[in-house]
Amino acid sequence: MTLAGCGGGTGSGEVTLKLVAADYGDSAENSSEKYWADLVEKFEAKNPDIKVEVTVLSWSDVDAEVAKMVKAGEAPDMAQIGAYSDYAAKDQLYAADDLLSIPVQGDFLSSLTSAGEVNRIQYGMPFASSTRLMFYNKKLFADAGIAKPPTTWDELAADAELLKDNGVKYPFALPLGKEEAQAETMMWLLAGGDGYTDQVGSYTLDSDMNVRTFDWLKKDLVDKDLVGPVAPGELNRQEAFNAFSNGEVGMLNGHPTLIAQAKKKGVEFAMAPLPGRSGKAKATMGVADWMMAFKQNGNRDEIGDFLDFVYSKENVLDFSERYNILPVTNSAADAMAEDAKYKQLKLFLDALPTSQLPPVGNTSWAHVSADIKAQIGKAVAPGGSPGAVLADIQNKARAAEAAE
């Protein structure tokens, strides 16, 4: 889906910027195409010598497509995707210092700024952020005789059994398909007491705790048919969200965009922290998606002008409101916190400053993330071995780390 910039004909000195962006919509009606079309029209009205062409792709394809473009020597001027650090390590990106005005760069939430750095230089500009909570269907819970959300894994499994016995199609939806398996995986690893890396940032994917976590998922949820009719490795996040919005899911992990989707379908739902092994999870997962600017075509000044406009408080709030995504700037976050219409986002917003992000600053992360997406579903498949799958991912991660 490509959006040509609105505006007049070609004049001397005119520059056309190309941006590849991910789609945050769940249907053609609310595709990110519309957000970018509105924003570009406003920008070009103020900057007639700069045209912007935006190509919007699904999350399943956008990272791989940008990687192909860069490999072919056809990098876009900007990409809004899931990982930046491998491009930064190859000196293919402008630093944020080279692009943004000081007030705009200083407005990013500090935790997101540091996550966008490689060797203490910011290359990744956060574009959207979220934390994760467990959503549950209040009607399905009530019908199954469940009075409150689970707070431990044992309670979660018991509630899933009750939902299954009551005919719920997906007692607990577990999307480990390629769309966002790395996020679902990290949520469970944190809930199990560990995560992707140790305190110095080295990968620990096959730690004893992580293997125990996936052993539990396989034996206590998947093998007991508590995750629905689609194998976790084949279930993508958006498909799980669609099933929740259709009233077919008892519980699943979700981010703020699910609020509007479920409301639109009239689903009565509530949110709670994902249970830990024996109580509250050690940390909530945070996610940031990234904007980056490639050096290949030059156009540094024009890119900077456009990105300063993208990150204005009004535009950040507009995007956050359209897609129920948390803002990445202090000015927009403060405005959201003070406005009652965003009250359902408060739980997510409160968790953001202390949430744990994936190791996006590791230049190997894009490769490791892609490997997790490709393989992790096998860990819970019939006959699968969580320990063997995690060890394989860890060995490849270690090799990628050594090659940095």
CA 185 to chain centre: 12
Q: How much is the pLDDT for 35? A: 95
Average pLDDT over residues 190-207: 93
Q: Which residue has the higher pLDDT, 241 or 282?
A: 241
Separation between Cα atoms, residue 209 and residue 378, nearest integer Å = 18
Answer yes or no: is pLDDT of 8 > 70: no
Residue-wise pLDDT for 292-315, tens only, equals 999 999 999 999 999 999 999 999
Least confident of 110-119, 179-188, 286-295: 110-119
Q: CA-to-CA distance for 389 and 194, rounded, in angstroms?
A: 17
Please name the residue that has the structure tokens 């780390």: 401
Given a cut of 60, whether residue 212 has pLDDT beyond it is: yes
How much is the pLDDT for 7?
A: 36
List the beta bridge partners of residue 54: 3, 19
Residue 7 near residue 43 (C-beta atoms within 8 A): no
pLDDT for 10 equals: 37
Spatial distance between the Cα atoms of 18 and 291, rounded to a whole number of angstroms: 13
From 230, 133, 257, select the one nearest 174 (Cα to Cα): 230
Q: Can you tell me the mean pLDDT for 71-84?
A: 95
Same domain, 272 and 294: no
Whether residue 245 is found in the same domain as residue 281: yes
Of 366, 386, 134, 129, nearest in space to 258 by CA: 134
- The model's confidence at residue 257, banded by pLDDT at 50, 70 and 90, is confident
Residue 1 is predicted with a pLDDT of 56
> Can you tell me the mean pLDDT for 161-177?
98
Find where tokens 């398996």 sit: 181
Q: Are residues 65 and 183 in the same domain?
A: no
Least confident of 87-101, 263-277, 300-314, 330-344: 330-344
- The region of weakest confidence among 3-12, 184-193, 366-375 is 3-12
Q: Which of 168-172, 262-266, 338-342 has the lowest mean pLDDT?
A: 338-342
Q: Provide the pLDDT confidence category of residue 356 given band limits of 50, 70 and 90.
A: confident
pLDDT at 287 over 60: yes
Q: 6: pLDDT confidence band, cut at 50, 70 and 90?
A: very low
Considering only the C-alpha atoms of the chain, give the largest distance between any 2 of them, rounded to a whole number of Å.
Answer: 70
Percentage of the residues of the chain whose pLDDT score is greater than 70: 97
Which of the four pLDDT bands, split at 50, 70 and 90, describes residue 403?
Answer: confident
Residues 391 and 243 in one domain: yes
Antiparallel, parallel or unpaired: β 15-22 and 78-81: parallel
Question: What pLDDT score does 3 carry?
Answer: 58
Residues 19 and 71 in one domain: yes
Phi, psi of 358 (to 5 degrees): -60, 165
Provide the pLDDT for residue 162.
98
> Is 282 in the same domain as 305?
no
Q: Region 203-232: what's the mean pLDDT?
A: 98
List pLDDT tens digits, range 126-164: 999 988 999 999 999 999 999 999 999 999 999 999 999
Mean pLDDT of all residues in the chain?
92
Whether residues 292 and 282 fall in one domain: no
293 and 312 within one domain: yes
Do 275 and 373 sit in the same domain of this protein?
Answer: yes
Domain count, the chain: 2
Expressed as residue numbers, the domain containing 314 is 2-130+287-354
Position 290 scores a pLDDT of 95
Enter the pTM of the model. Answer: 0.76
- pLDDT over 90, % of the chain: 74
Find the CATH number of the domain harbouring 32: 3.40.190.10
Q: How confident is the model at residue 363 (pLDDT cuts 50, 70, 90)?
A: confident
Instruction: State whether 103 and 148 are in the same domain.
Output: no
What are the phi and psi torsion angles at 381 (to 5°)?
-75, 160
- Same domain? For 216 and 235 the reply is yes
Same domain, 80 and 158: no
* 366: pLDDT strictly greater than 90: no
Stretch 181-189: mean pLDDT: 95
